[in-house]
Amino acid sequence: MKTFLSWSGGKDSSASIALCYENGIQLDGVIFSEVMFDNTRGISGENPDHIAFVRKSIPIIEHMGYKVIILHHKFDYLYEFNRRVTSKARSDRVNKKVGWIIGGACRMNGYKITPIKAFLKQFGEYKQIIGIAADELKRLAKLEPSQRSILAEYGIREADTYAICKKYNLLSPIYENETRGGCWFCPNSSIKDFARLAKAHPELWAELEKLSHDPDIVSQGFKYGRTFDSVNREVYVINNQITVFDTLGSAT
The pLDDT tens digits for 60-74 are: 999 999 999 999 999
Q: What is the pLDDT of residue 247?
A: 45
Q: What is the pLDDT of residue 119?
A: 97
Q: How far apart are the first and last CA of the chain?
A: 72
Name the CATH architecture for the domain at 2-181. 3-Layer(aba) Sandwich (3.40)
pLDDT tens for 124-150 read 999 999 999 999 999 999 999 999 999
Q: Is 185 helix (H, G, I), strand (E, B) or coil?
A: coil
Q: What is the pLDDT of residue 23?
A: 97
- Rounded CA separation 210/37 (Å): 14
| Helices 228-239 and 191-200, axial angle in degrees (round to 10) | 70
Q: 36: part of which helix (H) or strand (E)?
A: strand 36-38
Q: Which residues 6+ apart lie within 8 Å of 173 measured at CB? A: 49, 50, 53, 179
Q: Note the pTM of the prediction, 2 decimals.
A: 0.89
The letter for the amino acid at 212 is S
Q: What is the pLDDT of residue 180?
A: 65
Q: What is the pLDDT of residue 46?
A: 96
pLDDT tens for 206-231 read 999 999 999 999 999 999 989 999 99
Q: How far is CA 29 from the centre of its chain?
A: 20
For the chain, the domains span: 2-181
Averaged confidence pLDDT in the chain = 92
Walking along the chain (252 residues) 10 residues at a time, the average pLDDT comes out as: 97 98 98 98 96 98 98 97 84 86 82 95 95 97 96 97 97 81 91 95 98 95 95 96 54 50
Q: What is the pLDDT of residue 105?
A: 67
- Rounded CA separation 196/181 (Å): 13
Find the DSSP H helices in the chain: 11-22, 48-63, 77-82, 108-121, 137-141, 150-153, 161-167, 173-176, 191-200, 202-212, 228-239, 244-251
Q: Are 2 and 28 in contact (CB under 8 A)?
A: yes
- Rounded CA separation 23/246 (Å): 54
